[in-house]
Amino acid sequence: MLDVVVAPAALPSSGALVLPVEEGGAAHAVAWAGLDEATGGAVSRALEVAEFKGRKGQTATILAPGAGLTRVVAVGLGKPGELTQLGAEEAGGHAIAKLSREAAVAVAPGPLTPRLAGHLALGAVLRSYRFDRYRTTEKAEDKPLLGKLALLTEDAGAVEAAWAALRPVADGVFLARDLVSEPPNVLTPAEFAHRCEALGDLGLKVEVIGPKEMAKLGFGAFLGVAQGSVNEPRMVVMHWHGAGGAKGRKGNGVKPLAFVGKGVTFDTGGISIKPAAGMEDMKWDMAGAGAVVGLMAALAGRHAKVDAVGIVGLVENMPSGHAQRPGDVVTTYSGQTVEVINTDAEGRLVLADVLWYCQKHFDPRFMVDLATLTGAMVITLGHEIGGFFANDDELAQRLHAAGEASGEKLWRMPLGEAYDKLIKSDIADMKNVGGRPGGAITAAQFIQRFVNGKPWAHLDIAGMAWANKDSALTPKGATAYGVRMLNQLVADNYEG
């Protein structure tokens, strides 16, 4: 991870300098620490020639401006007084994409408060992510050389505190991205669970529940998905007791927040096998679980004053002589029965048992599940916004606001009795698909049958888990969508 340090507000004698500029503020910005004077006016002249106005997202790179600097990267902050935390993060991301070696940021008084300077650093760190664990022949000159970013400020204590509060969020995002990026022959359910156990070092209590215990509990839906694979399933329960909760179990007066993730470490579709083209992408069918793990790491890392439980159902969906068949009927942990029409609609079967376990054992204040659940959601919202469903308006409004603040946006989708009727089965309590029309909605209706009246939201993140191109805060690849949004939800609403 990019190392962020805080240093005195003085013009560096070498390397690159990031110059944040709000609209109409170029003259003030170039005067910072005598920058324009030290470069003989080169910076102000170059910005004028480049017609740099400081508009949001605008950048201008000035090479070898003088005073020992290799370059100055001016990055626009937008209109005065309108800079948000997301705007600051995006500015940091835009700037870091223009840098390759030693760099510093001019944290000038005015537009960049200490808090926003921390968010600018967060954006730079998030954009710098790179998964290169399996690259063995890459040339040194092709590897990123920027290892440190200095924040140059007159208020070192406040800026250090702001970044210290955000660093664990970056750690959580990087953890989730690493998990989603791993190949499926490495990240089996057992290996995923092992990596969750390592979070005990952050103060999380981690329980791993194996297939034998799941069988005793009656996880018929979850185990039905797993039965075609030689890689046995796991369920991992992560506890964070930041508000003084004793154990977080039902009956002790503590109502934790609950986050549940679908963790299908590879999804062939099972007997209802997927087309070969693009099947390699199904390694990230565990992105919901990755986001939950990243969130729990972030909450623990920043010592969030909240009690929370994160539960992930980890399984591989494979075709074999032992695999679940279309037409099978399974009995879920809730006692309800499901006719399996399509074995590729497996994520909702996993969530059915895990959500029932969550509400039964922890009596949470609410449950939020994340799942790369349906292609129908990708068709509906593309790769720009995640879809979500909720049975509680207050929770829905808070999730939407957290999405807007973090940039991980959400759009609420409908639930209703007419859709629920589409999953009626002729031989069981329900079937696991309701046909192509409204596919994301009928999937949510299925999941809602295992919520048991708890306040709940289902986030279908199928279109958001992986990016096919760079953006301000995310390089091409795993996004860790959901980590920052849910951290924002907790920070804004549930920490006393």
Q: Of 411, 402, 405, 407, which Cα lies nearest the Cα of 458?
A: 411
Burial class (CB in 10 A: 0-12, 13-18, 19+), 327: exposed
Q: Where are the domains of the chain?
A: 3-167, 187-493
- Name residue 76's amino acid: G
Spatial CB neighbours of 491, under 8 Å, sequence gap ≥ 6: 304
Spatial CB neighbours of 166, under 8 Å, sequence gap ≥ 6: 118, 119, 121, 122
Q: Of 456, 410, 53, which Cα lies nearest the Cα of 257?
A: 456
Q: Which residues are catalytic?
A: 274, 348
3-state class (DSSP) for residue 193: helix
Fold category of 3-167 in CATH: Leucine Aminopeptidase, subunit E; domain 1 (3.40.220)
Q: How far is CA 129 from the centre of its chain?
A: 13
Spatial CB neighbours of 457, under 8 Å, sequence gap ≥ 6: 366, 367, 368, 369, 388, 389, 390, 391, 392, 395, 396, 399
Q: Candidates 3.40.630.10, 3.30.565.10, 3.90.1330.10, 3.30.390.10; correct CATH number of 187-493?
A: 3.40.630.10
Spatial CB neighbours of 92, under 8 Å, sequence gap ≥ 6: 105, 119, 120, 121, 122, 123, 124, 125, 127
pLDDT for residue 247: 52
Q: What angle separates helix 483-493 from helix 393-406, to the nearest 10 degrees?
A: 120
Q: Say if residues 288 and 295 touch (Cβ distance below 8 Å).
A: no
The whole-angstrom separation of Cα 43 and Cα 200 is 50
Give the alpha-carbon dihedral of 389, 359, 331, 211, to 10 degrees. 110
Q: Phi and psi at residue 323, in whole multiples of 5°? A: -70, 155
Q: Is 294 left (phi over 0), alpha (psi -120 to 50) or beta?
A: alpha
The whole-angstrom separation of Cα 326 and Cα 254 is 41
DSSP state of 347: H
Residue 30 token pair? 């170039």
Give the alpha-carbon dihedral of 329, 330, 334, 335, to 10 degrees. 60
The whole-angstrom separation of Cα 225 and Cα 210 is 14
DSSP state of 101: S
pLDDT for residue 142: 75
pLDDT for residue 249: 55
3-state class (DSSP) for residue 95: helix
The whole-angstrom separation of Cα 57 and Cα 386 is 23
- Its pTM stands at 0.96
Tokens 């959601």 map to which residue? 377
DSSP state of 142: G
Per-residue pLDDT of the chain (496 residues; tens, 9 = 90+): 999 999 999 999 999 999 999 999 999 999 999 999 999 999 999 999 999 999 999 999 999 999 999 999 999 999 999 999 999 999 999 999 999 888 999 998 788 999 999 999 999 999 999 999 999 998 877 777 788 999 999 999 999 999 999 999 999 999 999 999 999 999 999 999 999 999 999 999 999 999 999 999 999 999 999 999 999 999 999 999 999 755 545 555 679 999 999 999 999 999 999 999 999 999 999 999 999 999 999 999 999 999 999 999 999 999 999 999 999 999 999 999 999 999 999 999 999 999 999 999 999 999 999 999 999 999 999 999 999 999 999 999 999 999 999 999 999 999 999 999 999 999 999 999 999 999 999 999 999 999 999 999 999 999 999 999 999 999 999 999 999 999 999 999 999 7
- The tally of CA atoms less than 13 A away on the side-chain side of residue 172 is 28
Q: Say if residues 342 and 432 touch (Cβ distance below 8 Å).
A: yes
Spatial CB neighbours of 147, under 8 Å, sequence gap ≥ 6: 2, 3
The whole-angstrom separation of Cα 160 and Cα 169 is 15
The whole-angstrom separation of Cα 374 and Cα 413 is 13
- Name residue 251's amino acid: G
Give the alpha-carbon dihedral of 444, 449, 454, 458, to 10 degrees. -10
Q: Say if residues 270 and 326 touch (Cβ distance below 8 Å).
A: no
